[in-house]
Structure 1
Amino acid sequence: MRTFIFALLFLWGVFSYAQTAVSGKVTDENGAPVPGANVVLVGKTVGAVTNMAGMFTLETSESPPFALTISSIGFASVTVEVAASGQEVNVRLREQETLLDEIVISASRTPERIFESPVTVERFGVREIKNTPSANFYDGLENLKGVDINTNSLTFKSVNTRGFASFANTRFVQLVDGMDNTSPALNFVLGNLVGMSELDVHSVELLPGASSALYGANAFNGILFMTSKNPFDYQGISAYLRSGITSQEAAGDNAFYDFGIRMAHAFSDKFAAKANFSYLRGKDWYAVNEEDVLNPGATRADPDYDGMNIYGDEVSTSIKSVANDMVALGLLPDGAQNLVPDQVVSRTGYAERDLTDYRAESVKADFSLHYRPFADDFEIIYNGRLGRGSTIYQGANRYALRDFFIQQHKLEFRNNNFFVRGYITAEKAGDSYDMRFTGINMNRLWKPDNQWFGEYVGAYLTAFQGGAGFAPGDAPASHAFARQIADSGRPEPGTAEFESAFRQVTGSPDLASGSRFQDNTKMRHIDANYNFSHWTESFADIQVGGSFREYVLNSYGTIFTDYDGPITYSEYGAYTQVQKKVLDERLKFTGSLRYDKSQLFDGFVSPRVSLGYTAGQNRNHNLRASFQTGFRNPTTQDLFIGLDAGRAVLIGSAEENLDRYVRTYELSDIGAMVAGSPTADISGRHAYEQAYSARSVQAFSASAEAGAPNPALLTIADVEKVKPEKVTAFEVGYRGQLQKVTIDASIYYNKYKDFIANETVVVPFYGALDLSDPVDLGTGPTPRALIALSQGDFQAYQAYTNSSADINSYGATLGLDAKVMGDFDLGVNYTFADFDFDEDKDPDFRPGFNTPKHKVKAHFGNTELFKNFGFNINWRWSDAFFWQASFADGNVPAFSVVDVQLNYRVPAVKSTFKVGGTNIGGNEYFTAVGTGLVGSQYYVSWVINP
């Protein structure tokens, strides 16, 4: 790699020198400089950006005459002719809504107008950040068409496009200045918890759909690019202060505070630096859903109650089985077991609100050093990002992330034609813990399961037989009395005993007794790109590039099976892209091809082909069509996880992982007799090779409860080890400018192959799965595996595999933006998304589409209603949909939200004051089952920007 970097630098020095230099200044109609304006050579990829004074310098190997297009958000673009080298170009831009003239880079890794982008792309720039009524710019992304934001908590939100969403969101990539913002161990995109300060955001670009041809593995359902401001172009000190309240019925009204500062300075035309710091603190949305997860409508009066946001009640067993064991041990008289029903009983859990303080906190800092050794476009950049946050994350369980820390460090070499960058991401879990296991192990700390259930059975028999003042045979009263007796001595929230137990459990990483998870995982990444267009512009624009990534998993055995030390593996890829314009530059062809290879899997080729045609006398209509493929490698957890999540053990399917995870289970008394041992050692391999499907075990159990057990219902699971997931994507679209109305529409269709999915299986601790080994316990020959299932001698596992079903997703978006009543901005967009799959081919497949079929969003505002005063109103409606995830399944009702902001600018002090509110109607809603309801947020802010 070192040789590769030196070779690219050499090529730059030999071939990328400029022959023509053009400089100038860009101003608005009032003569004020326009910073951040794009200056692009017409028909080429060469460009420059104006600095804070509106000045620019562009160097190119193109010989005059040629044309430049100057554009900026909110202004009409201007094309000027350059007749000679050294010419000074001074341009005055006229204000105009020109959404399609905005310049994006992400779609083709080269500057181009949104209007001519070969695929759908959304842009959220400085103008949109200023106008968003959301409390921060990241939340404002939710108003883009085709975008879903799933609210995990106040400070942790997941952006997704085109379905199959989860909070981990492993099919979506987020890049911050080219660095992947994904947690390498926990696999979730960190959102803006430790991301970018809004003061430093230059632009946000979003590509919905597959982008693997240019961006490699995991750029599968979409990719989000956040680009910061260069200190050479944006200098000075800027700051913001925002404060207000969050309002929720469960949590009440709570204050929040958000502060940020940016400092940037160019010390010369060769050296510049910047630093950012921001801090947010507030109270998270309380999650207080007590609906029974497995039996909706049930309450704690049900002996087998398992509340959604209640933890510890996942531990359950049949008290009939407990009574049988107690009789066998002589703890109950013979025959007493006949009075005990075959009823599953769960322990009493703790509410989530008792297991966390709901602290929401985000501390972000970053700094950059920029060096231009030749005072031209060649730049060497060091960028360091540090973030610490406290929030709630929902995966298989609910996790309290406390002082979660991540850092990224990048070194980049670049100019207008190439970049080479390498970065490292390292994370630490801090004091984070699993709230479900906190509840489970706090229960076990004060009273072990066998003692609790034994006391329950004893008390039940006392009450059921008419003791303790109860009427004989009153089962409901007997269950209530039994729970009261078994819960005696239970630490209550707020007591010293509770706090002591909480600290002990959350401080231990051993899930047999604690709930803390440890993590010191790292990811190293290098990528490079060279644009040969300055050599090949007479033929076509050609780019080549590649990347290399290495994972170093280090969870100390708490998440992965890295008991003996870190697990390391790598992947790499290379790509090329060709773009060509013909037919008077109306027809644009883009073709890309990428090859990727993981150390653990075979290589994969991702092609992309697109055509765009600009029609109309004024070139104001553009039609596009694209075909592309994408793929996604299994995540670190898909491969190497080994984690008991309570209801099931999560086990990754990497070959070396299957035998590394081994757990010893204690057998029931009857099971010990049948197996010939009091314990059984079960490895991860059992989940893939010696298990029944969970669906068939449930069917068999139902038949047994009905008094007619039918072993023929049991199906041996056939779980293949996970391999990369693939998608073939087709898209057509239209963009157009009709007077003051901008139209952007698209339709897509995706075909998935080897869709990565989870399959829950049940491993009996003994016995042949084909029931070929019966044993006679006095009631006739019974297969050993059936005895294991009847005695509770089994464990559920969640295996990572691929679905054999044919899975397709499809959808459409339509966006309209217009100027109405003079200078008022009006926009509305609609998104449709749906999927289908062959359920008969894979009945155990859980798609987890998790996306509303219909969404409508609208905005109305005016940046200059009168002098220095503006406002904006956003409204969005989301259809009801079914949420399906490892934590819980359930319906998400339809909801609508209104956000409003008013702003007033005071140029004399370079300040903007804003008053705003989100969900001002106060109609609380949720976007995923198990999370807290999202309430209202009201704020005032003061932004100082030079």
Structure 2
Amino acid sequence: MRVYLLFLTLFFCSVAFAQNTISGVVTDSNNQPIPGANITIVGETSSTTTDFDGAFTLKSSKKPPFSINVTSVGYITQKIAVSGNSSKISVKLLDEETLLNEIVVSASRTPERVLESPVTIERMSIADIKKTASPTFYDGIENMKEVQMNTSSMSFKSINTRGFATVANTRFMQLVDGMDNASPLLNFPLGNLIGISEIDVQSVELLPGASSALYGANAFNGILFMTSKSPFVNEGITAYAKFGQTSQSAAGTNDYLDYGVRMAKTFNKYFAGKVNFTYMRGTEWWAVNDDDKTRQGVDRNTTNYDGVNVFGDEVATNIKGVGEALAAQGLIPASAVNLLPSTLVSRTGYNEVDLTDNKVSNTKIDFALHVRPFGNEKLEVIWQSKFGYGNTVYQGANRYYLNNFFMQQHKIEFKGKNFFVRGYTTTEDGGQSYDMVFSGINVNRAWKADRTWFGQYAGAFVQSTLAGALPADAHARARSVADTGRLIPGTEAFKNAFNAVISNPDVLSGAQLVDNSRINHADANYNFKDQIKFAEVQVGGSYRQYVLNSFGRIYTDLAGPIRYDEYGAYTQVMKKMLDDRLKFTGSIRYDKAQNFEGNFSPRLSLVYTGGESRRHNFRGSFQTGFRNPTTQDQYIGFNVGNAVLLGSAPDNLARFVETLPIATAVGQAFAGGNTVTINGFNAYNNSYTASSVAAFAAARNPALLRKTNAPLVQPEVVKAFELGYRSFINKTSIDINGYYNIYNNFIGNLNVVAPLYGSAQDAPNPAAGPTDLGFQTLHALGNGNVRAFQLYTNTALEIESLGFGLGLSRKVYKDFEIGANYNFAEFSFDQSQDASFEAGFNTPKHRVKASIGNEKLFPNFGFNVSGRWNSEYLWQSSFADGTIEAATVIDVQVNYEFPSLKSTFKIGASNIGGIEYAQVLGAGLIGQQYFASWTINP
């Protein structure tokens, strides 16, 4: 920390070298300021951009006279002569018909007009961020074409494109200034928890679909690029403050606060630096879904209830088996066993809102030091550090409260006009994070052991039955007796037990999530355009090392950290032909992961520019993408209560070992004792598919049982075809795209049930007798002597998905802008051929988004209204399956600028319709959010 303070001291105390300074303001034809306009000295690298008031200050060692170019997307470029540095320059830019000359970088790793991009690309500019009606710019990304947002928490939102959406979205990559935002432990981005401040955003670019050819294995469903402002270009102090309220029927009305500051300084042409600080806090969207996870219409009075947001009720056992054990110990008469039904009974659980404080917060701090050894952009060295800290809720196989979660990234980068070399490290600390399912389970156990609770339940049921009670009344009486003295939320006894559980990492008695994992990454790129003239040729590569360290809590790393390496290399050739109307781009990448064979990912694309004005652009591309199994797919060994999540790496199967009790006397005879020890190979080689076990339980027909034949997980491959058209016709911007994807070796989850004794086999014979190993598995299944697993594997079936998108935008009367886009998506998978495999498409078939706004409605006054609608869709996940209902959401904002105060005031509201909606089954319903903000610009 002392080093960081020293850097900051140097940063604020350095003395700038003398330079020539020019300043001015850039406006449009209506004398309204243009934020984000670029000002560059002709023939020099010195440049800057305008602030929200259109003002700029440009420093250079070059003495006047010279000329500057003033450019902005949607306006005609102006070239202005500067004779001295004493006067203020006023520049008026005229509207340009098309916005399609906007420059993007991510599609081909080289600057190109968005019109000529070889694949579909979306972009959010500084102006777009200013006018978004969403509470934050990151929330506003949801209004971009192709984007689907999955909200697990108020501050934890996962972005996805083109299907197969999850909260834990390992198919989508998010880069901030070239650094992967993925959590080392979880392998996917944690929303914007360690992302970027909205006052430091330069641009946001979105590449939907497979991008493995340039960006590697994780760029499977798409990539989000967020680029921050350079202190050489944007200096000064910027600050914002937002205050508002959230409203939800479950949580009520609660305050919301978000503020931040950016300080940037160009000390001279060699040295610049910046610091960002943001802080947000609010109240979580309460998750209060008490539907049963697996059965519709089941309420809390059901004996084997397992509520979506109720935890602790995952612990269940066959009550008849409990009676057999009690009779064997002489605690109840043998005849009483026949009074007990052969049915599962679950313990009484706790509501999620009683197992968390329902608060959300996020603190982000980052600083960067930029050095230009030659005084220009020929070489720039950047040191950047980012820190993210806070509380939020994450949903995977369980619901997890990330409490005082801390993540940091540190990067050193060398870049020039045609190259970059960078290395960075990402580390995280789980803080006091905990699993809410195990919080409920182990608070119950801290009060009363499972064996005692179920024994009391069985005894009370027998007594009530003997007294003449009907089964429903006997179950109610039995639960009441077993729950006598239960810890009540809010009491001191409950708080003490709860605090002890969440600070204990032992899965048998605690719930704490322990994590100190790390990613080390390096990548490089060189563009030979100055050396090779016939085409633009690039080469690059990357190396990544995972260091998994959950101390045995989540991964099988109890004996020490697990290290896992990946590396890759790529090349790309780009060539324009036919009077620069036809652009060919060819790329190929090779990637190798430690446990798998290498993969080649080629991409071929053609873009043809037609029409006299070159405004009709047709594009087509084909690429093969792939996704390596994540570290979770390979190395997880995580007990989530009702199952164990188990990765399939062979060394992982050997490391996972578990000793379990046998519930019945007969089972103990089969197992050779009252406990049995299993390992990961039991899950893959001696288990039944969960779907066949459910069918067997319903029909009591052993012929329905099917032995698991799950292969160890392998890389997933997609063949992606895309066609598109982009143009500007009669002042209307048009973007049309369609895609068709074919997936092989699709990675997903398979739920299985491993008997603790016997040998799993297809359709075991119930008449074979006790010595038959198949017969023994039937006894294990019938008496709860099993271990459920969720395996990571591939389906042998081919999965197809296709989609279509249309985006339109237009300036209408005066300066009103309207926009609309539509997306269609569906997939094809024959579930009957692989009944236990869940593909998890989790994407609505239809999505519509629209907006209308005018940033110049009156002098200094603007507004924007955006709306979106999606059709209902099936949600499948390891936590719960069900239907996400159709939703309509409308956001609105109005803003007013005070040039004399260098300030912008904004009032906004999201979901003003007031109908709460879900994006993730198990997360809280999203209510309304109202805010007022004040932004001060340099």
TM-score in terms of structure 2 length? 0.92
Give deviations 1:597-643, integer Å, cap 9, x for gaps: 11111111111111101111111111100111111111111010001
1:555 aligns with 2:546: no
For residues 138-157 of structure 1, the aligned pairs below 5 Å read: 138-157=138-157
SS state at 2:376 partner: coil
1:738 aligns with 2:734: no
| AA matched with 2:846 | H
Matches of 1:479 and 1:347 in 2, distance apart?
A: 12
The farther-off stretch of 764-773 and 847-856 is: 764-773
CA distance 1:812–1:343, shift in 2 (3 Å) = same
Matches of 1:109 and 1:463 in 2, distance apart?
A: 74
Query: Residue in 1 aligned with 2:702?
Result: 711
| Residue of 603, 612, 617 corresponding to 2:607 | 612
1:514 aligns with 2:507: no
Query: Residue in 2 aligned with 1:909?
Result: 901
SS state at 1:459 partner: helix
| AA matched with 1:524 | N
Query: Residue in 2 aligned with 1:826?
Result: 818
Give deviations 1:89-121, integer Å, cap 9, x for gaps: 998632346431211100011111111111000
1:697 aligns with 2:682: no
For residues 22-37 of structure 1, the aligned pairs below 5 Å read: 27-29=26-28, 35-37=36-38
Aligned-pair CA distance for 1:58: 14
Give the CA RMSD over aligned residues.
2.5
Aligned-pair CA distance for 1:782: 7.7
Aligned-pair CA distance for 1:775: 7.9
CA distance 1:790–1:32, shift in 2 (3 Å) = closer
SS state at 2:844 partner: coil
| AA matched with 2:431 | G
Give deviations 1:43-93, integer Å, cap 9, x for gaps: xxx99854454759999xxxxxxxx99742342457999xxxxxxx99863
Matches of 1:855 and 1:47 in 2, distance apart?
A: 43
Query: Residue in 2 aligned with 1:361?
Result: 361
Query: Residue in 1 aligned with 2:439?
Result: 438
| AA matched with 1:255 | D
For residues 494-643 of structure 1, the aligned pairs below 5 Å read: 494-536=490-532, 538-643=533-638
Matches of 1:425 and 1:109 in 2, distance apart?
A: 23
- Aligned partners of 2:424 and 2:520 also within 8 Å: yes
SS state at 2:422 partner: strand
Query: Residue in 1 aligned with 2:412?
Result: 411
Query: Residue in 2 aligned with 1:9?
Result: none
Aligned-pair CA distance for 1:464: 1.6
CA distance 1:692–1:38, shift in 2 (3 Å) = farther
SS state at 1:437 partner: helix
Query: Residue in 2 aligned with 1:448?
Result: 449
CA distance 1:873–1:422, shift in 2 (3 Å) = same
Matches of 1:41 and 1:376 in 2, distance apart?
A: 14
Q: Percent identity?
A: 53
Matches of 1:306 and 1:33 in 2, distance apart?
A: 56
| Residue of 748, 751, 770 corresponding to 1:760 | 751
SS state at 2:718 partner: strand
1:121 aligns with 2:112: no
- Aligned partners of 1:622 and 1:736 also within 8 Å: yes
CA distance 1:106–1:185, shift in 2 (3 Å) = same
CA distance 1:933–1:47, shift in 2 (3 Å) = farther
Give deviations 1:253-295, integer Å, cap 9, x for gaps: 0001101000000010100000000000100100000011122
- Aligned partners of 1:690 and 1:769 also within 8 Å: yes
Query: Residue in 2 aligned with 1:839?
Result: 831
Query: Residue in 1 aligned with 2:11?
Result: none
CA distance 1:528–1:47, shift in 2 (3 Å) = farther
- Aligned partners of 1:628 and 1:730 also within 8 Å: yes
SS state at 1:99 partner: coil
Aligned-pair CA distance for 1:869: 0.1
Give deviations 1:910-929, integer Å, cap 9, x for gaps: 10000000001111000111
Query: Residue in 2 aligned with 1:195?
Result: 195
The farther-off stretch of 336-345 and 118-127 is: 336-345
For residues 613-692 of structure 1, the aligned pairs below 5 Å read: 613-668=608-663, 669-692=665-688
Matches of 1:24 and 1:274 in 2, distance apart?
A: 21
The farther-off stretch of 49-58 and 712-721 is: 49-58
Aligned-pair CA distance for 1:206: 0.3
Matches of 2:34 and 2:302 in 1, distance apart?
A: 70
Matches of 1:397 and 1:874 in 2, distance apart?
A: 33
Query: Residue in 2 aligned with 1:12?
Result: none
Query: Residue in 1 aligned with 2:206?
Result: 206
Matches of 1:317 and 1:282 in 2, distance apart?
A: 40
CA distance 1:70–1:479, shift in 2 (3 Å) = same
- Aligned partners of 1:25 and 1:50 also within 8 Å: no
Matches of 2:597 and 2:162 in 1, distance apart?
A: 27
Query: Residue in 2 aligned with 1:749?
Result: 740
| Residue of 859, 870, 873 corresponding to 2:865 | 873
Matches of 2:319 and 2:810 in 1, distance apart?
A: 67
Structure 1: gaps (5+ residues)? 1-22, 60-67, 82-88, 467-471, 705-709
CA distance 1:27–1:318, shift in 2 (3 Å) = same
Aligned-pair CA distance for 1:194: 2.0
| Residue of 831, 842, 846 corresponding to 1:854 | 846
For residues 798-813 of structure 1, the aligned pairs below 5 Å read: 798-813=790-805
1:425 aligns with 2:426: yes
The farther-off stretch of 877-886 and 30-39 is: 30-39
| AA matched with 2:536 | D
Aligned-pair CA distance for 1:321: 1.3
CA distance 1:58–1:886, shift in 2 (3 Å) = farther
Matches of 1:40 and 1:549 in 2, distance apart?
A: 40
Query: Residue in 2 aligned with 1:296?
Result: 296
Matches of 2:271 and 2:45 in 1, distance apart?
A: 21
| AA matched with 2:145 | K
Aligned-pair CA distance for 1:227: 0.1
Aligned-pair CA distance for 1:777: 6.0
CA distance 1:937–1:31, shift in 2 (3 Å) = closer
- Aligned partners of 1:25 and 1:33 also within 8 Å: no
Aligned-pair CA distance for 1:765: 1.1
CA distance 1:487–1:33, shift in 2 (3 Å) = closer
- Aligned partners of 1:38 and 1:72 also within 8 Å: no
- Aligned partners of 1:194 and 1:389 also within 8 Å: no
CA distance 1:803–1:268, shift in 2 (3 Å) = same
Matches of 1:562 and 1:880 in 2, distance apart?
A: 41
Matches of 2:851 and 2:781 in 1, distance apart?
A: 57
For residues 135-284 of structure 1, the aligned pairs below 5 Å read: 135-284=135-284
Query: Residue in 1 aligned with 2:779?
Result: 787
CA distance 1:504–1:275, shift in 2 (3 Å) = same
Aligned-pair CA distance for 1:839: 2.8
SS state at 2:655 partner: coil
Matches of 1:35 and 1:777 in 2, distance apart?
A: 79
Matches of 1:299 and 1:31 in 2, distance apart?
A: 60
- Aligned partners of 1:385 and 1:408 also within 8 Å: yes
| Residue of 701, 711, 715 corresponding to 1:724 | 715
- Aligned partners of 1:34 and 1:50 also within 8 Å: no
TM-score in terms of structure 1 length? 0.91
SS state at 2:818 partner: strand
Matches of 1:639 and 1:808 in 2, distance apart?
A: 25
SS state at 1:247 partner: strand
Give deviations 1:672-691, integer Å, cap 9, x for gaps: 11222221111011111111
Aligned residue pairs: how many? 895
Matches of 1:866 and 1:35 in 2, distance apart?
A: 21
